Chain A
């Protein structure tokens, strides 16, 4: 019986991992394929990586994507923090439900609709006030802020609602004016949430295709748009190389995050020990005194 369960477990595990990782593994393997045909192995080669780094179109798109992601993630964190702060701290003011609905709508709205409505907005604005002139990086950044801000708001709001309100009150009680309370107490305490909000926004912006396709103009193709248009003409090996590089970057990111978390846990354990020892010390000194 027990044997049976173990075998079953092993099979399920293997199948699960195979399902998740075989596509990625084959992608990596074929990125080193000599042959131009993606499905025929022609020997080991790194020539597609070379080709990739000579491909102006892909390099430009990657650079644009990174610029857009950094810019929109940063602005989304600023705006999302403001919105999260207002929602978590300002009580039941008039229009709270409306604000809450508006900031989180992009989470549930189909991307095509968000993209289309933003496009219509930009066209109308251009006709009425002449800005933004044409579609390009500006419109992409604005659109990315719109939908990534929703995620940041949710992260910040939930972190703030976990935070003990009396920390901010205590700071005010000790003589800090509200803006100082925010910069000296609230911001440092929620900083990890802001960091993870930024990373989330960065990743979402980096791989968005649908909304971007609506609001991008000629000459402002992001990396996902270039990959998608190339793949429509058939998978070429240099795309495999590009994907492999992305996988490696993501894997390194995950690894660093993992090591960081493990170190944090170690520090926490040590601190708990210290608190315990401190308690013991105090009880001893009470017994003596």
Chain B
């Protein structure tokens, strides 16, 4: 399942220094081409609110599994979006519900600024919302 991708991302980011992390995210962004997210999907309805740069997310459910695609205007954010949708596509409702904010923190582990971490958490919540699942909350003491 896509959790493995997620582990790969987390490990790759952990191993890199600052500049390389940017490069890594920018490379991810470059991998996405226009066909991944056609212009006509960039509608207000698909827009995530409250982001500093625009982020669009779309969702589809097939045979009990959720699939996501996303885009952003900013390259770094595009890389993050790519990481999120890759990690969390192909999961069942159950699995989506189980993703916690700590999982997102793990993905970030020292790699990104706080602001982007907040953005990533917002993305997770949006992914859960689109999949019709309750959104992750901070657990007590976190």
Binding partners A and B = no
